[in-house]
Structure 1
């Protein structure tokens, strides 16, 4: 390919009357090239290959086109690198170099943009009024919790007008986590926008039809009705329809999660993330109102937000059977319930941080939620009715190992000592909790221990006395005992009796 200086010299010498043959001999250029330079308009001389031979890629061109097309349809995190695509072709017999694949992929992308440029490279800027809408999305980030690597699911919310952001990490991307993220996000913003923009995630959308027609999940619609929000779903594979939160995912990943975060617990991580959201809003300038920060624009937008009457009761309910050992299996773990519902069916309401077990209208268990697997979480008080009938189980019963008793009961346990008789006496005191309640039993134990006596009979006697009806509070006086009709002294009545006896 000739440089521009050579082309200009050729055109100048030819215009001066020099022959093409002489110019070619002096510049060591073929006469064909000389003629093309002379005919080129205004000295423009670009070499363009009309046919690309592709000697190595040719037999694999259709396969490579298919791989590139599939790769474009994948999510950004799941897309294959060009080195991986080259490796896949090599496994199928391709003998070309990586650079050949890379150059072909670059040309393929240019051609694809040219064919679909009206729908993929040009966008319409969006403008939102204060309080009008928010956008929601999930991302997956790698952190270190308690010294172990963990991939967390991060919920992202963004107010479209003020650009305020809220992020929170969860161990799962389930519906109860979605509900919890909305409740915390609206509380963080100080109100609720009128419309929510989502992608077609399964926790929100049940069916996707053409256009914007969607069938939303029933529980999701109940949540939207609670907050008075109109849900809107984007078109499939059209991330630009919620471009603000899509951009937020990349921004937050670079600013918050890199380098890898290390925290003792997920709660500590979320506390740090919320503080960073506030700090970022105070330091970040608004993209449209450059003289205002995001935090200042949020204060301006808050009056336009709907008031939040209260958090949505965001649970995911399912039915489970209770085993004979008073356990239910949920999310690969086992939780204890009251022994009164053994071998019955109960309803488990799973929240983001706890599970509540109900049998009809009665709550029969409540536990902090555990996200590992193959673990059994006991509450020893659930087994108290069974223990009252089988006091021998206190020593080796699995629920009672490492039982953290209230201070008064723990002291009584130490005073009674070990052995079958001590266990039986202690269980007698524990069984009183079923009728008198834990608070009254603790008070009775403290009263007995204060006298220096660790006796189950004394404790039960104290509880029995406290169950007696209270005495009247009024003081009885002599005036209250006075007769209303006092008797009249009459000694003549004795004479009448004496005369009656004599006659007899």
Structure 2
């Protein structure tokens, strides 16, 4: 039997509070083995759902489609979400389903029961005990790599000590929020016992006292063993500490509009700025924040030995070009994967594409908003190895040096296949640019690139050796590389 996330989180929280495992089993009506399993679990990060535990034969393989519909419902207005009857009608009309309505109804009920967080609003005290945290978002603008962009400022405060931390994110999506909180937990070296948010965040939505929490955030709760509470976003008194901190940090750290080479550089600046401001601030009782912060940290949870991986897994179908579309943006898996159902892992800064058995297809940069398809030249190589004549019209040509493209054009099919394969293998350790430069040097030396030569040269190029006229002599590699290129000296 699958144990719901809220029960797992209760087990881990009670175990962290020192409740005996037999008592936990009695209170939660689960077995002691179940308590031990989840209390001792080291890592609760999301894993790619590469295999289904069980498929109902009566659903005729439509289980993943139903799950996708129900997952998408979480972002829709409550009155516009699918009932089991509406899902059944769509299955019949759109997918030719011949099974019974009761099968669909049971599947939907089980899905919702397993993903129910069971969270409620509860009583929100205004005297904040050590170890409690408030979280909210603010908007700001910054120049990143010369381009002005609108960003989100994720702010977390410890009201007891008045310690304030912030992280810049590209979006409020659950994976971005969780990644930002992981970074803030790293700064503190501890995790809060309770986090108070409002329902304007992607962590969860509250309507009429009932919270629908995102699965990813709920998994993060279980990983770090904290509780979550939700309040009305228009009730500033319920989380006044963080609402004040949003404006304070924005005024003190982001005025005038800052400029940075990248998001990582901006967040390093924000970390230093938060540390400097906390060193000058005081708690509510007048003590220095650093003194009161020690009490906060003593009341917080120890971090687990494994960092949480904030990844949201989405099922997507690759079109005839090998493109998948997630969150309104296209990502290139590669033509070799056209027409395939793939798993797409959405992280704050990267997108990982997996095939059916967990085989990695591509890792791409995460993109936000409108724009061209996000691609990695290496994703095109498998199809070109299978059909080397297609190189003449492939978009990969624009990513390669002109000399390398001209050299490959002069080769026959076998030479093209060997060259592209050697670039692909060398790029795995040295990067695509270094692998192309290495292959070009081999071609300029009058030979067809092979795996060993390109790999060694690419590693040296990536490491800064360069292999130019003043670089190290590579002739020592001649013996085992079948005559390494003389011009690489």
TM over 0.5: yes
The equivalent residue for 1:295 is 290
Distance 1:353 1:251 in 2: 27
Which of 425, 440, 443 is equivalent to 2:415? 425
Contact 1:263–1:269 (CA under 8 A) maintained in structure 2:
yes
Structure 1 unaligned regions, length at least 5: 1-123, 405-409, 468-504
Q: Contact 2:442/2:448 (CA < 8 Å) preserved in 1?
A: no
CA shift at 1:280, angstroms?
A: 0.5
**SS of 1:173's equivalent?**
coil
State the match for 1:227 in structure 2. 224
Decide which of 307, 310, 321 is 1:311's aligned counterpart: 307
Alpha-carbon separation, structure 2, partners of 1:153 and 1:448 = 43
Q: Quick one: structure 1 residues 429 and 154, their matched pair in 2 at CA, closer, same or farther if it must change by over 3 Å?
A: same
Query: Which structure is larger by alpha-carbon Rg, 1 or 2?
Result: 1
Residues 370-425 of structure 1: CA deviation (Å, up to 9, x unaligned): 22423123222222232123323334311331237xxxxx99x48x8464436862
Determine whether 1:209 maps to 2:208.
yes
CA-CA distance at 1:165 after TM superposition:
1.0
Q: After TM superposition, give the deviation of residue 270 of structure 1 in Å.
A: 1.8
- Separation in 1, partners of 2:449, 2:267: 51
Cα 1:459/1:281, change in 2 over 3 Å: closer
Which of 362, 366, 380 is matched with 1:365 structurally? 362
Aligned to 1:394: 391
Deviation at 1:229, TM superposition (A): 0.7
> Counterparts of 1:216-365 in structure 2 under 5 Å?
216-235=213-232, 237-290=234-287, 292=288, 294-309=289-304, 310-360=306-356, 361-365=358-362
Structure 1 counterpart of 2:184 = 185
Give the gaps of 5 or more residues in structure 2: 1-123, 456-478, 482-489
Change in 2 beyond 3 A, CA 1:264/1:315: same
State the Cα distance separating 1:453 from its structure 2 match: 5.9
TM normalised by structure 1 equals 0.57
Query: What residue in structure 1 maps to residue 447 of structure 2?
Result: 455
SS in 1 for 2:179: helix
Corresponding residue of 2:49:
none
Which residue number in structure 2 is paired with residue 128 of structure 1? 128
Whole-Å separation in 2 of the counterparts to 1:254 and 1:449: 53
Deviations 1:115-165 (A, max 9, x none): xxxxxxxxx99433322x100001112333344443211111001222111
CA distance in 1, matches of 2:454, 2:248: 66
Stretch deviating more after TM superposition (272-281 or 247-256)? 247-256
| Secondary structure of the structure 2 residue equivalent to 1:421 | coil
CA distance in 2, matches of 1:318, 1:182: 22
Q: CA deviation at 1:347?
A: 1.6
Tell whether the 8 Å contact from 1:429 to 1:460 is kept in structure 2 after alignment: no
Contact 1:162 1:301 in 2 (8 A): yes
**Distance change (3 Å), C-alpha of 1:220 and 1:321:** same
Q: Alpha-carbon deviation of 1:346?
A: 1.0
Distance in 2 between residues matched to 1:460 and 1:271, nearest whole Å: 39
* Deviation at residue 439 of structure 1 after TM alignment: 7.1
CA gap 1:399/1:323 in 2 versus in 1, 3 angstroms: farther
For each residue in 1:482-504, what CA deviation from the matched residue of structure 2 results, as whole angstroms up to 9, or x when unmatched? Answer: xxxxxxxxxxxxxxxxxxxxxxx
- Cα–Cα, structure 1 residues 439 and 166, in superposed 2: closer, same or farther, change >3 Å? closer
Closer, same or farther: CA 275–423 of 1 in aligned 2, 3 Å: farther
Distance in 2 between the 1:196 and 1:458 partners?
A: 56
Secondary structure, aligned partner of 1:225: helix
Give the distance between the partners of 2:317 and 2:398, measured in 1 at CA: 25
Alignment-derived partner of residue 115 in structure 1: none
Mapped to 1, the partners of 2:418 and 2:337 lie a distance apart of 23
